[in-house]
Structure 1
Amino acid sequence: MLALLSSITLSLIVVTLIMLTSSLLSKKMILDREKMSPFECGFDPKETARLPFSLRFFLIAVIFLIFDVEITLLLPLASVPLFTNIFSWTLTGLFFLLILLFGLFYEWWKGALEWAH
C-alpha cells in the first residue's frame, strides 16, 4: 500500500515537472505591439477605450441568452413522460411553452427584436 502511494506521488511530481518545463520552453518571447496591447479583437490601443457600443446588439444578445437557457430547461421534458403522469407532464410543458411564447410576443410587441427602426 505504501509503495503504491509513493509511486503515485512520484508520478504526480514527475508529470508536474514535465508540464512546468514544457510550459516554460514553449513560451514565445517575441514581444510585438499586438501582444503587448491591453486590448484584443482589433481595437487600437492608441485611441480611447470608450468606443460607442450598440445597445440594440446587447439587447438582442441578452434575449438570445434568455431564450437559450429556457430551451435547455425544455430539453429534459423529452425524457420525463416515462416516469410521470402524462397529464401533469403535458400541463407543465404547455405552461412553460406559453411563458416562452408570451415573453417572445412581448419583446416583439415592444420592438426589441427589430434591428433598425
Structure 2
Amino acid sequence: MVLGFFTQAEKALAQEMLSKLESQLTPDMFAGQAKLLSVNKVTRLLEQSYRLAEAHQRERRPGFVKRAALANQFKWALLDKGYPKEFVDVAVEGLVVALAKIAARKAPDAPAP
C-alpha cells in the first residue's frame, strides 16, 4: 500500500503516544475501578500524549491525510490494547481537536474579499 509507506512516522507516533498513555492509564483501570479515575487525571494524561502529536505537527507540518492517519492509528492502537470504545472515541476526538488547533494557527490567512 503506497499510503502505508508515507504514514510510517504517524504509525510510530501513535505507538509512542499509546506507550506514554499506557504507562499511567492501563485498560484494566477502566474495569470496575472507574471510581479511582478522575476526569481531571484522565484529561491530564491524554493531554500529555497529545503533546507528542502537537510537537510532531509543529515540526513536520503534516497535511490532512497524515493527521487523519495518525488519529486512525491511535484509535486502533487503543482498541487493540483493550481500552473501552467510549474512552477511545473521546481520546481520538481530543487528538483531532488538538491537531486542528495547531493546523489552524499555521494556516496562512485567507485573502480579504
Q: TM-score range by the shorter chain?
A: 0.3 to 0.5
- Larger Cα-atom Rg: 1
| Higher helix content, 1 or 2 | 2
Q: TM-score, normalised by structure 2?
A: 0.35
Structure number with the bigger relative contact order (C-alpha 8 A, sep ≥ 6) is 2
Q: TM-score, normalised by structure 1?
A: 0.34
